[in-house]
Amino acid sequence: MDDKKCCDAYWIKELAHSKQSQLSQHEAEQKAWMAQHSQNDKDCSEWIDHLFENMISFSDQFDQVVTEINHKIEWETPAFHHVDCVDVLQESKKPPGEKVYAGHLTYADWTLMIRGYSHEIQVFIIPSNMLLQLTIGSFDSTEFPPVVRINFHPDSTEKAHLKYHEGSQSLDKEINSHALPELAKAFFTALVEKGRS
């Protein structure tokens, strides 16, 4: 039902501002876009699930060692969310029905949020009180931009391009799915170190 409402909102907006031939072209482009990216949704969710399997295992081990209750790690496993109708109306180029796959871990006052789209995975480390804003899409990413972006290769489900940037440190390299356990360690370490700072 939510998908239908979003598609209807998009269709009504286009109908109000377009001629019939333009509307038909937009519908065709939208269907082609969704068909092209449906496989990438699956790839994105598999990579994120693998990252979270590792990080939740690290969290369990970490929580057994840490004695302070307020220093336990909390998490929400990843799930699919549809692009909000409001986002569709504000950003006409974003097709309704695009899915976001997102989950997070929280330690102390900081949250590691991983969200994936059909074209990329984004990793944020943000103050925990900003999590809701990021989740509902009203988050201004200029102050806390993604520290990592992973872009999938269009011709391979195993390869991706990783860009990391935080402060004066940066990294730009090709990776494959075998790198995910090490990435999970790096993300988990970054969250704990941020929570202790």
Q: What is the largest CA-CA distance in the chain?
A: 65
What's residue 132's pLDDT? 72
CB 170 within 8 A of CB 185: no
Query: Distance from CA of residue 184 to its chain's centroid?
Result: 15
What's residue 152's pLDDT? 84
What's residue 162's pLDDT? 95
Query: Distance from CA of residue 40 to its chain's centroid?
Result: 13
DSSP, residue by residue, 60-111: HHHHHH---GGG--EEEEEEEEEPPHHHHHH-TTS-TT-EEEEEEEEETTEE
What's residue 123's pLDDT? 94
Euclidean distance between CA atoms 126 and 15, whole angstroms: 39
AA letter at 137: G
Query: Distance from CA of residue 44 to its chain's centroid?
Result: 9
- With 0.75 as the threshold, say if the pTM is over it: no
Supply 98's token pair. 């695009």
Residue 167 is given by DSSP the state T
Which residues in the chain land under pLDDT 50?
A: 1-5, 85-94
Supply 13's token pair. 């907006």
Q: What residue segments make up the domains of the chain, in order of their start? A: 2-196
What's residue 153's pLDDT? 77
Euclidean distance between CA atoms 128 and 131, whole angstroms: 5
